[in-house]
């Protein structure tokens, strides 16, 4: 895993998570895909997305638009999964899907307090992760991840380049508004953010019934 781990009551924070070349290529890729970003949706208990810019205001890309970096991060997380679960103090579970989006926050954008799981299909989201990247030097302020019920006081996590945060998806959290005076896309706060899902019975049954892969 990354060399430096910061532990607290709410989350795990690793810094220098990727090598610098991968971190730089990811940033360049995000900037090159600017035209493909769309407004981020908020997912309800029915699993359907809805646009609500009074509650969540940002832009995002789906995995098909960052396949290489999805694979890099998903493989790294899967290889470290057992340690992440143990350090978070979460009851061990069988890992299913790794859901991921590439998200941009620019001037005035935010995400109000929320949790990432709940009832319906979302109950199988167990762990949330947020990998941060941005221009060097950083040209925005704000954008901190806030854990509002951390004890003995709320926890504020800065969006430092090449760091990643893991936490229980049931924790109440928020994204503080970003201040980006230039309002240039490349000057904003970027993340690869997503969720580690518990493997559900349907996935297990599908695997059990699948023919063996060709060698």
Name 4's bridge partners: 15
Q: Compute the distance between CA of residue 131 and CA of residue 98 in angstroms, rounded to an integer.
A: 14
Categorize the per-residue pLDDT at 214 as very low, low, confident or very high, splitting at 50, 70 and 90.
very low
Domains contained in the chain, number: 1
Q: Is the pTM of this model over 0.75?
A: yes
- Is 131:191 a contact under the CB 8 Å cutoff? yes
Domain annotation covers residue 48: no
Task: Tell me the backbone φ, ψ of residue 107, rounded to 5 degrees.
Answer: -55, 125
Q: What are the DSSP calls for 126-184, one per residue?
A: EEEEEEEE--SS---EE--EEETT-SSS-EEE---TTEEEEEETTS-EEEPPEE-TT--
- The reply to whether 79 falls in a domain is yes
Q: Give residue 172's domain range.
A: 4-40+56-206
Q: How many whole angstroms separate alpha carbon 198 and alpha carbon 97?
A: 7
Q: Is 49 domain-assigned?
A: no
Assess if residue 177 is contained within a domain. yes
Residue 50 belongs to a domain: no
Q: Which range in 6-10, 27-31, 49-53 is most confidently predicted, on average pLDDT? A: 27-31
Q: Which residues of 138-161 are buried (b: 16+ CB within 10 A; e: fewer)?
A: bebebbbbbbeebeeeebebebeb
Average pLDDT over residues 45-67: 81
44-53, 109-118, 175-184, 185-194: segment of lowest average pLDDT: 44-53
CATH of the domain at 184: 2.60.120.620
């Amino acid at each position: 895993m990354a060399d430096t781990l910061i532990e607290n009551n709410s989350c795990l924070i690793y810094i220098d998570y990727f090598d610098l070349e991968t971190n730089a290529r990811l940033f360049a890729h995000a900037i090159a895909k600017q035209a493909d970003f769309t407004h981020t949706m908020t997912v309800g208990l029915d699993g359907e997305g809805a646009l609500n810019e009074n509650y969540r205001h940002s832009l995002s890309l789906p995995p098909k638009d960052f396949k290489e970096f999805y694979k890099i991060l998903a493989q790294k997380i899967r290889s470290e999964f057992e340690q992440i679960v143990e350090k978070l103090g979460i009851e061990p579970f069988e890992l299913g899907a790794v859901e991921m989006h590439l998200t941009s926050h620019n001037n005035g954008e935010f995400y109000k307090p929320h949790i990432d799981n709940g009832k319906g299909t979302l109950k199988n989201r167990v762990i949330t992760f947020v990998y941060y990247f941005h221009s060097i030097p950083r040209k925005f302020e704000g954008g901190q991840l806030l854990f509002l019920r951390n004890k003995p006081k709320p926890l504020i996590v800065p969006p430092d380049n090449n760091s990643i945060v893991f936490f229980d998806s049931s924790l109440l959290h928020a994204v503080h508004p970003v201040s980006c005076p230039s309002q240039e896309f490349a000057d904003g706060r970027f993340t690869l953010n997503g969720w580690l899902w518990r493997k559900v019975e349907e996935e297990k049954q599908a695997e059990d019934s699948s023919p063996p892969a060709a060698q």
